[in-house]
Protein backbone atom coordinates (compact mmCIF):
# COMPACT_ATOMS: atom_id res chain seq x y z
CA UNK A 1 0.00 0.00 0.00
CA UNK A 2 1.57 3.25 -1.11
CA UNK A 3 1.30 6.55 0.67
CA UNK A 4 -0.46 7.31 3.93
CA UNK A 5 -3.79 5.59 4.43
CA UNK A 6 -6.72 7.73 5.55
CA UNK A 7 -9.79 6.07 7.03
CA UNK A 8 -13.04 6.62 5.07
CA UNK A 9 -15.42 9.25 6.39
CA UNK A 10 -18.30 6.80 6.83
CA UNK A 11 -16.03 4.51 8.87
CA UNK A 12 -15.05 7.40 11.14
CA UNK A 13 -18.74 8.19 11.61
CA UNK A 14 -19.47 4.52 12.30
CA UNK A 15 -16.79 4.38 14.99
CA UNK A 16 -18.22 7.49 16.63
CA UNK A 17 -21.71 6.00 16.85
CA UNK A 18 -21.39 2.22 17.26
CA UNK A 19 -19.69 0.88 20.39
CA UNK A 20 -17.02 -1.80 20.23
CA UNK A 21 -17.55 -4.55 22.80
CA UNK A 22 -14.73 -6.55 24.34
CA UNK A 23 -15.59 -9.39 26.67
CA UNK A 24 -13.47 -12.24 28.06
CA UNK A 25 -15.10 -15.67 27.94
CA UNK A 26 -12.90 -18.25 29.58
CA UNK A 27 -9.45 -17.76 28.10
CA UNK A 28 -10.80 -16.14 24.92
CA UNK A 29 -11.14 -12.43 24.31
CA UNK A 30 -14.10 -11.58 22.05
CA UNK A 31 -14.20 -8.32 20.15
CA UNK A 32 -17.48 -7.51 18.40
CA UNK A 33 -20.08 -4.96 17.34
CA UNK A 34 -23.74 -5.53 18.16
CA UNK A 35 -26.20 -3.06 16.67
CA UNK A 36 -29.87 -3.08 15.80
CA UNK A 37 -33.18 -3.98 17.51
CA UNK A 38 -32.58 -6.70 20.07
CA UNK A 39 -36.01 -8.18 19.35
CA UNK A 40 -34.82 -9.37 15.91
CA UNK A 41 -32.82 -12.61 15.46
CA UNK A 42 -29.31 -11.43 14.63
CA UNK A 43 -27.26 -11.74 11.48
CA UNK A 44 -23.72 -12.62 12.57
CA UNK A 45 -20.87 -11.61 10.24
CA UNK A 46 -17.73 -13.77 10.28
CA UNK A 47 -14.76 -12.28 8.39
CA UNK A 48 -11.95 -14.04 6.59
CA UNK A 49 -8.33 -14.50 7.60
CA UNK A 50 -7.43 -10.87 6.91
CA UNK A 51 -10.65 -9.40 8.29
CA UNK A 52 -11.77 -8.00 11.61
CA UNK A 53 -15.15 -7.09 13.05
CA UNK A 54 -14.70 -3.64 11.48
CA UNK A 55 -14.76 -4.84 7.86
CA UNK A 56 -18.54 -5.30 7.97
CA UNK A 57 -19.26 -1.79 9.18
CA UNK A 58 -21.17 -0.95 5.99
CA UNK A 59 -23.53 -3.86 6.63
CA UNK A 60 -24.05 -2.77 10.23
CA UNK A 61 -24.84 0.80 9.21
CA UNK A 62 -27.26 -0.13 6.43
CA UNK A 63 -29.14 -3.11 7.85
CA UNK A 64 -29.53 -1.75 11.39
CA UNK A 65 -31.31 1.32 10.03
CA UNK A 66 -33.74 -0.99 8.22
CA UNK A 67 -34.65 -2.74 11.47
CA UNK A 68 -32.25 -5.70 11.46
CA UNK A 69 -29.81 -6.66 14.19
CA UNK A 70 -26.23 -7.21 12.99
CA UNK A 71 -23.37 -8.66 15.05
CA UNK A 72 -19.88 -8.54 13.54
CA UNK A 73 -17.18 -10.47 15.40
CA UNK A 74 -13.45 -11.01 15.32
CA UNK A 75 -12.36 -14.64 15.06
CA UNK A 76 -10.80 -15.29 18.49
CA UNK A 77 -7.51 -17.05 19.15
CA UNK A 78 -8.49 -20.68 18.75
CA UNK A 79 -6.12 -23.32 17.44
CA UNK A 80 -8.42 -26.05 16.10
CA UNK A 81 -11.92 -26.32 14.75
CA UNK A 82 -13.36 -28.15 17.76
CA UNK A 83 -12.15 -25.32 19.98
CA UNK A 84 -13.80 -22.83 17.61
CA UNK A 85 -17.19 -24.53 17.87
CA UNK A 86 -17.10 -24.57 21.66
CA UNK A 87 -15.83 -20.99 21.93
CA UNK A 88 -18.45 -19.62 19.52
CA UNK A 89 -21.25 -21.39 21.37
CA UNK A 90 -20.08 -19.91 24.68
CA UNK A 91 -19.97 -16.49 23.06
CA UNK A 92 -23.59 -16.81 21.90
CA UNK A 93 -24.62 -17.88 25.39
CA UNK A 94 -22.79 -14.92 26.91
CA UNK A 95 -24.62 -12.37 24.75
CA UNK A 96 -27.93 -14.24 25.22
CA UNK A 97 -28.44 -15.18 21.57
CA UNK A 98 -29.89 -18.59 20.76
CA UNK A 99 -30.84 -18.71 17.07
CA UNK A 100 -28.65 -17.02 14.48
CA UNK A 101 -28.19 -16.37 10.80
CA UNK A 102 -24.56 -16.30 9.67
CA UNK A 103 -22.91 -14.36 6.86
CA UNK A 104 -19.44 -15.85 6.41
CA UNK A 105 -16.75 -14.91 3.91
CA UNK A 106 -13.67 -17.00 3.10
CA UNK A 107 -12.46 -18.57 6.37
CA UNK A 108 -15.53 -17.17 8.11
CA UNK A 109 -17.79 -19.07 5.71
CA UNK A 110 -15.93 -22.29 6.40
CA UNK A 111 -16.22 -21.83 10.17
CA UNK A 112 -19.92 -20.98 9.76
CA UNK A 113 -20.54 -24.28 7.97
CA UNK A 114 -18.67 -26.22 10.67
CA UNK A 115 -20.76 -24.60 13.39
CA UNK A 116 -23.98 -25.30 11.47
CA UNK A 117 -22.91 -28.94 11.13
CA UNK A 118 -22.19 -29.48 14.83
CA UNK A 119 -24.79 -27.11 16.31
CA UNK A 120 -27.70 -27.38 13.86
CA UNK A 121 -30.33 -26.18 16.32
CA UNK A 122 -28.75 -22.77 16.64
CA UNK A 123 -28.16 -21.91 12.97
CA UNK A 124 -31.27 -20.88 11.07
CA UNK A 125 -29.64 -19.95 7.75
CA UNK A 126 -26.31 -19.31 6.02
CA UNK A 127 -24.98 -16.76 3.54
CA UNK A 128 -21.68 -18.03 2.14
CA UNK A 129 -19.34 -15.80 0.15
CA UNK A 130 -16.10 -16.87 -1.58
CA UNK A 131 -15.64 -19.83 0.77
CA UNK A 132 -14.68 -23.52 0.72
CA UNK A 133 -15.56 -26.96 2.12
CA UNK A 134 -12.18 -28.35 3.23
CA UNK A 135 -8.66 -27.18 3.96
CA UNK A 136 -6.58 -29.67 1.93
CA UNK A 137 -5.40 -27.19 -0.69
CA UNK A 138 -4.39 -24.66 1.98
CA UNK A 139 -2.55 -27.30 3.97
CA UNK A 140 -0.57 -28.25 0.88
CA UNK A 141 0.34 -24.60 0.30
CA UNK A 142 1.59 -24.20 3.88
CA UNK A 143 4.22 -26.87 4.60
CA UNK A 144 5.47 -24.67 7.43
CA UNK A 145 2.09 -24.80 9.21
CA UNK A 146 3.50 -26.75 12.23
CA UNK A 147 5.73 -23.81 13.14
CA UNK A 148 3.25 -21.05 12.33
CA UNK A 149 2.89 -20.16 16.02
CA UNK A 150 6.62 -19.42 16.14
CA UNK A 151 6.72 -17.30 13.01
CA UNK A 152 7.44 -13.57 13.43
CA UNK A 153 4.58 -11.18 12.97
CA UNK A 154 5.94 -9.42 9.90
CA UNK A 155 6.29 -12.73 8.03
CA UNK A 156 2.72 -13.72 8.92
CA UNK A 157 1.38 -10.38 7.72
CA UNK A 158 3.37 -10.65 4.51
CA UNK A 159 1.98 -14.14 3.88
CA UNK A 160 -1.60 -13.00 4.48
CA UNK A 161 -1.20 -9.95 2.23
CA UNK A 162 0.27 -12.01 -0.61
CA UNK A 163 -3.12 -13.69 -0.89
CA UNK A 164 -4.66 -10.36 -1.88
CA UNK A 165 -4.35 -9.69 -5.57
CA UNK A 166 -1.89 -6.93 -6.36
CA UNK A 167 -2.25 -4.71 -9.40
CA UNK A 168 -4.63 -2.12 -10.84
CA UNK A 169 -8.12 -2.20 -9.38
CA UNK A 170 -11.35 -0.34 -9.78
CA UNK A 171 -11.44 2.58 -7.35
CA UNK A 172 -13.93 0.95 -4.99
CA UNK A 173 -12.04 -2.35 -5.00
CA UNK A 174 -8.76 -0.54 -4.39
CA UNK A 175 -10.33 1.26 -1.44
CA UNK A 176 -11.57 -2.05 -0.01
CA UNK A 177 -8.08 -3.55 -0.29
CA UNK A 178 -6.54 -0.54 1.45
CA UNK A 179 -9.07 -0.80 4.27
CA UNK A 180 -8.44 -4.52 4.84
CA UNK A 181 -4.68 -3.99 4.73
CA UNK A 182 -5.05 -1.35 7.44
CA UNK A 183 -7.00 -3.89 9.52
CA UNK A 184 -4.32 -6.54 9.07
CA UNK A 185 -1.84 -4.11 10.61
CA UNK A 186 -3.94 -4.10 13.79
CA UNK A 187 -3.79 -7.89 14.23
CA UNK A 188 -1.28 -9.38 16.62
CA UNK A 189 1.05 -12.26 15.85
CA UNK A 190 -1.14 -14.64 17.87
CA UNK A 191 -4.27 -13.58 15.98
CA UNK A 192 -2.67 -14.18 12.59
CA UNK A 193 -1.09 -17.46 13.68
CA UNK A 194 -4.37 -18.87 14.98
CA UNK A 195 -6.27 -17.93 11.80
CA UNK A 196 -3.64 -19.46 9.54
CA UNK A 197 -3.72 -22.56 11.72
CA UNK A 198 -7.49 -22.84 11.26
CA UNK A 199 -6.99 -22.47 7.51
CA UNK A 200 -4.32 -25.17 7.29
CA UNK A 201 -5.63 -27.59 9.94
CA UNK A 202 -7.09 -30.70 8.33
CA UNK A 203 -10.88 -30.46 8.39
CA UNK A 204 -13.86 -30.66 6.07
CA UNK A 205 -17.53 -29.78 6.22
CA UNK A 206 -19.88 -32.73 6.53
CA UNK A 207 -23.57 -32.94 5.67
CA UNK A 208 -25.74 -30.20 7.13
CA UNK A 209 -29.22 -30.67 8.57
CA UNK A 210 -30.01 -27.21 7.22
CA UNK A 211 -31.95 -27.44 3.97
CA UNK A 212 -30.50 -25.83 0.85
CA UNK A 213 -33.38 -23.38 0.63
CA UNK A 214 -32.01 -21.65 3.75
CA UNK A 215 -28.59 -21.14 2.18
CA UNK A 216 -27.52 -18.33 -0.12
CA UNK A 217 -24.23 -18.48 -2.03
CA UNK A 218 -22.90 -15.03 -2.89
CA UNK A 219 -19.67 -15.15 -4.92
CA UNK A 220 -17.80 -12.63 -7.04
CA UNK A 221 -17.18 -13.48 -10.68
CA UNK A 222 -14.00 -11.48 -11.21
CA UNK A 223 -11.38 -12.88 -8.83
CA UNK A 224 -10.73 -13.79 -5.22
CA UNK A 225 -8.09 -15.48 -3.10
CA UNK A 226 -10.25 -18.63 -2.99
CA UNK A 227 -9.68 -20.72 -6.14
CA UNK A 228 -12.70 -21.10 -8.41
CA UNK A 229 -12.57 -24.88 -8.02
CA UNK A 230 -13.17 -24.61 -4.28
CA UNK A 231 -16.07 -22.21 -4.81
CA UNK A 232 -17.57 -24.62 -7.36
CA UNK A 233 -17.42 -27.40 -4.78
CA UNK A 234 -19.55 -25.31 -2.43
CA UNK A 235 -22.13 -24.78 -5.18
CA UNK A 236 -22.20 -28.50 -5.93
CA UNK A 237 -22.65 -29.36 -2.25
CA UNK A 238 -25.75 -27.15 -1.98
CA UNK A 239 -27.53 -27.49 -5.34
CA UNK A 240 -30.78 -26.05 -4.00
CA UNK A 241 -29.19 -22.94 -2.51
CA UNK A 242 -30.02 -19.50 -3.85
CA UNK A 243 -27.36 -17.89 -6.06
CA UNK A 244 -26.37 -14.25 -5.75
CA UNK A 245 -23.63 -13.61 -8.28
CA UNK A 246 -21.68 -10.36 -8.16
CA UNK A 247 -19.99 -9.43 -11.43
CA UNK A 248 -17.19 -7.63 -9.65
CA UNK A 249 -16.11 -7.01 -6.09
CA UNK A 250 -12.82 -8.81 -5.60
CA UNK A 251 -12.05 -10.45 -2.29
CA UNK A 252 -14.05 -8.00 -0.23
CA UNK A 253 -17.41 -7.29 -1.89
CA UNK A 254 -18.91 -6.27 1.45
CA UNK A 255 -16.65 -3.20 1.19
CA UNK A 256 -16.37 -2.68 -2.57
CA UNK A 257 -20.00 -3.48 -3.46
CA UNK A 258 -21.87 -2.78 -0.21
CA UNK A 259 -25.18 -1.82 -1.82
CA UNK A 260 -25.44 -5.09 -3.75
CA UNK A 261 -24.30 -7.17 -0.78
CA UNK A 262 -26.70 -5.45 1.60
CA UNK A 263 -29.56 -5.98 -0.84
CA UNK A 264 -28.83 -9.71 -1.12
CA UNK A 265 -28.52 -9.99 2.66
CA UNK A 266 -31.85 -8.27 3.13
CA UNK A 267 -33.55 -10.48 0.53
CA UNK A 268 -32.11 -13.57 2.20
CA UNK A 269 -33.32 -12.54 5.65
CA UNK A 270 -36.81 -11.84 4.32
CA UNK A 271 -36.90 -15.18 2.53
CA UNK A 272 -35.96 -17.17 5.65
CA UNK A 273 -38.58 -15.41 7.74
CA UNK A 274 -36.64 -12.72 9.62
CA UNK A 275 -39.00 -9.81 10.20
CA UNK A 276 -37.32 -6.42 10.37
CA UNK A 277 -38.44 -3.98 13.06
CA UNK A 278 -37.97 -0.47 11.67
CA UNK A 279 -40.45 0.75 14.29
CA UNK A 280 -37.77 0.11 16.92
CA UNK A 281 -35.21 2.27 15.14
CA UNK A 282 -35.11 5.81 16.59
CA UNK A 283 -36.06 8.43 14.03
CA UNK A 284 -38.21 6.08 11.90
CA UNK A 285 -41.95 6.12 12.75
CA UNK A 286 -44.07 3.00 12.74
CA UNK A 287 -45.28 2.06 9.30
CA UNK A 288 -42.06 3.21 7.65
CA UNK A 289 -43.47 6.59 6.59
CA UNK A 290 -41.47 9.77 6.68
CA UNK A 291 -41.40 12.21 9.55
CA UNK A 292 -40.00 12.46 13.03
CA UNK A 293 -40.38 10.22 16.03
CA UNK A 294 -40.74 13.15 18.42
CA UNK A 295 -44.53 12.76 18.60
CA UNK A 296 -44.19 9.12 19.55
CA UNK A 297 -41.62 9.94 22.20
CA UNK A 298 -43.92 12.57 23.71
CA UNK A 299 -46.57 9.92 24.25
CA UNK A 300 -44.20 7.95 26.47
CA UNK A 301 -43.69 8.70 30.13
CA UNK A 302 -40.07 9.89 30.40
CA UNK A 303 -39.90 8.73 34.01
CA UNK A 304 -41.01 5.18 33.24
CA UNK A 305 -37.93 3.09 32.26
CA UNK A 306 -40.05 -0.06 31.93
CA UNK A 307 -41.24 1.10 28.50
CA UNK A 308 -37.77 1.14 26.98
CA UNK A 309 -36.95 -1.72 24.64
CA UNK A 310 -33.28 -1.88 25.68
CA UNK A 311 -32.52 -1.14 29.34
CA UNK A 312 -29.39 0.89 29.87
CA UNK A 313 -28.15 -1.48 32.56
CA UNK A 314 -27.81 -4.35 30.08
CA UNK A 315 -24.01 -4.26 29.88
CA UNK A 316 -22.33 -7.38 28.55
CA UNK A 317 -19.00 -5.86 27.62
CA UNK A 318 -16.79 -2.85 27.90
CA UNK A 319 -17.74 0.14 25.78
CA UNK A 320 -16.57 3.74 25.64
CA UNK A 321 -19.60 4.96 23.73
CA UNK A 322 -22.86 5.95 25.47
CA UNK A 323 -24.89 4.92 22.39
CA UNK A 324 -24.24 1.24 23.06
CA UNK A 325 -27.83 0.06 22.76
CA UNK A 326 -29.17 2.66 20.33
CA UNK A 327 -29.31 3.05 16.59
CA UNK A 328 -27.40 5.21 14.18
CA UNK A 329 -28.97 8.68 14.49
CA UNK A 330 -30.41 10.48 11.53
CA UNK A 331 -29.30 13.92 10.55
CA UNK A 332 -31.46 16.57 12.31
CA UNK A 333 -34.78 16.99 10.58
CA UNK A 334 -37.96 18.93 11.29
CA UNK A 335 -41.33 17.43 12.03
CA UNK A 336 -44.11 17.33 9.46
CA UNK A 337 -45.91 20.27 11.08
CA UNK A 338 -42.80 22.44 10.89
CA UNK A 339 -42.27 21.51 7.27
CA UNK A 340 -45.87 22.53 6.51
CA UNK A 341 -45.40 25.82 8.35
CA UNK A 342 -42.24 26.63 6.43
CA UNK A 343 -43.89 25.86 3.13
CA UNK A 344 -46.92 28.03 3.91
CA UNK A 345 -44.75 30.86 5.16
CA UNK A 346 -42.63 30.76 2.00
CA UNK A 347 -45.78 30.85 -0.11
CA UNK A 348 -47.13 33.84 1.81
CA UNK A 349 -43.88 35.77 1.38
CA UNK A 350 -44.45 35.75 -2.37
CA UNK A 351 -47.50 37.90 -1.74
CA UNK A 352 -45.51 40.43 0.32
CA UNK A 353 -45.89 44.04 -0.91
CA UNK A 354 -44.48 47.25 0.47
CA UNK A 355 -47.77 48.99 1.10
CA UNK A 356 -49.37 46.14 3.03
CA UNK A 357 -46.43 45.16 5.24
CA UNK A 358 -48.40 45.22 8.45
CA UNK A 359 -51.20 43.02 7.16
CA UNK A 360 -48.79 40.47 5.65
CA UNK A 361 -46.77 40.29 8.86
CA UNK A 362 -49.95 39.54 10.77
CA UNK A 363 -50.70 36.68 8.39
CA UNK A 364 -47.17 35.34 8.72
CA UNK A 365 -47.39 35.40 12.50
CA UNK A 366 -50.68 33.53 12.28
CA UNK A 367 -49.16 30.88 10.04
CA UNK A 368 -46.14 30.33 12.28
CA UNK A 369 -48.31 29.72 15.31
CA UNK A 370 -50.47 27.13 13.58
CA UNK A 371 -49.65 23.43 13.46
CA UNK A 372 -52.40 22.32 11.07
CA UNK A 373 -54.00 24.79 8.63
CA UNK A 374 -56.83 23.83 6.26
CA UNK A 375 -56.26 24.49 2.59
CA UNK A 376 -59.36 26.74 2.44
CA UNK A 377 -57.87 29.02 5.10
CA UNK A 378 -54.63 29.37 3.20
CA UNK A 379 -56.45 30.19 -0.03
CA UNK A 380 -58.63 32.76 1.77
CA UNK A 381 -55.58 34.46 3.28
CA UNK A 382 -53.84 34.63 -0.08
CA UNK A 383 -57.02 36.05 -1.68
CA UNK A 384 -57.26 38.73 1.01
CA UNK A 385 -53.66 39.76 0.55
CA UNK A 386 -54.08 39.88 -3.21
CA UNK A 387 -57.29 41.94 -2.84
CA UNK A 388 -55.48 44.41 -0.58
CA UNK A 389 -52.78 44.76 -3.17
CA UNK A 390 -55.32 45.37 -5.94
CA UNK A 391 -57.11 47.90 -3.74
CA UNK A 392 -53.89 49.82 -3.08
CA UNK A 393 -53.04 49.68 -6.77
CA UNK A 394 -56.52 50.95 -7.67
CA UNK A 395 -56.34 53.84 -5.16
CA UNK A 396 -52.91 54.84 -6.50
CA UNK A 397 -54.10 54.73 -10.09
CA UNK A 398 -57.20 56.77 -9.20
CA UNK A 399 -55.06 59.39 -7.48
CA UNK A 400 -52.73 59.68 -10.49
CA UNK A 401 -55.70 59.92 -12.86
CA UNK A 402 -57.33 62.69 -10.84
CA UNK A 403 -54.07 64.68 -10.72
CA UNK A 404 -53.58 64.32 -14.46
CA UNK A 405 -57.16 65.48 -15.19
CA UNK A 406 -56.74 68.52 -12.91
CA UNK A 407 -53.45 69.56 -14.54
CA UNK A 408 -54.94 69.12 -18.03
CA UNK A 409 -57.88 71.31 -16.99
CA UNK A 410 -55.53 74.05 -15.75
CA UNK A 411 -53.58 74.05 -19.01
CA UNK A 412 -56.74 74.28 -21.08
| 3-state SS assignment for residue 314 | coil
CA 188 to each of CA 181, 192, 335: distance values in angstroms, whole numbers, following the listed order: 13, 6, 48
Query: Within 10 Å of residue 288's Cβ, how many Cβ atoms?
Result: 11
* pLDDT over 50 (residue 355): no
pLDDT of residue 354: 39
pLDDT digits (tens, 9 = 90+) for 74-105: 999 999 999 999 999 999 999 999 999 999 99
Q: Which of 179-188, 308-317, 361-370, 383-392 has the highest mean pLDDT?
A: 179-188
Tell me the pLDDT tens digit for each residue of 168-179.
788 999 999 999
Where does the pLDDT of residue 165 fall: very low under 50, low under 70, confident under 90, or very high at 90 and above?
confident
Q: In sequence order, what are the residues at sequence separation of 6 or more whose Cβ sits closer than 8 angstroms to the Cβ of residue 187?
A: 52, 157
Residue 285, classed as helix, strand or coil, is: coil
Q: Which residue has the higher pLDDT, 45 or 337?
A: 45
CA distance 109 to 206: 14
Stretch 343-348: mean pLDDT: 39
Alpha-helical (H) ranges within 223-374 are 228-237, 253-256, 258-271, 294-299, 336-350, 357-368
Mean pLDDT of all residues in 43-50: 97
Mean pLDDT (the chain) is: 80
Q: Nearest-5° angle of CA 281, CA 266, CA 309?
A: 25
Is pTM, for the whole model, over 0.85? no
Residue 20, pLDDT score? 97
pLDDT at 411 over 80: no
Q: What are phi and psi of 73, to 5 degrees?
A: -125, 155
Mean pLDDT, residues 298-312? 40
Task: Identify whether the C-beta of residue 122 lies closer than 8 Å to the C-beta of residue 100.
Answer: yes
Quick: pLDDT tens for 184-227: 999 999 999 999 999 999 999 999 999 999 999 999 998 889 99
- Return left, alpha or beta for 85; rule: phi > 0 is left, psi -120 to 50 is alpha, else beta: alpha
* Alpha carbon distance 55, 48 (integer Å): 10
Tell me if residue 313 falls in helix, strand or coil.
Answer: coil
Q: What integer pLDDT is reported at residue 86 of this predicted model?
A: 97
Is-contact 184 160, C-beta < 8 A? yes
Average pLDDT over residues 224-232: 94
Element containing residue 73 per DSSP (H, E): strand 70-73
C-alpha 75/C-alpha 84 separation (Å) is: 9
Q: Give the integer Cα–Cα distance in Å for 48 and 106.
A: 5
Amino acid sequence: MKGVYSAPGDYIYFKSQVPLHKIPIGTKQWRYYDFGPKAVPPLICLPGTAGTADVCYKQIMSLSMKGYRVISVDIPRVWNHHEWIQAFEKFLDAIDVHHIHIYGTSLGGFLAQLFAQHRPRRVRSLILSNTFLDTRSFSAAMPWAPIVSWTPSFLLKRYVLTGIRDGPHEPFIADSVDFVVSQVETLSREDLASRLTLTADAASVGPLLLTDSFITIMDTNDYSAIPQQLKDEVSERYPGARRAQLKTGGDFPFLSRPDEVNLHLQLHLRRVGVEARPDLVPGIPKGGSGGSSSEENEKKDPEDPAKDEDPANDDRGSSDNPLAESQLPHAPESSQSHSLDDQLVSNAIVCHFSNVDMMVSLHLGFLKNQHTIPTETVMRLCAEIFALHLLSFYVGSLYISLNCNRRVGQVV
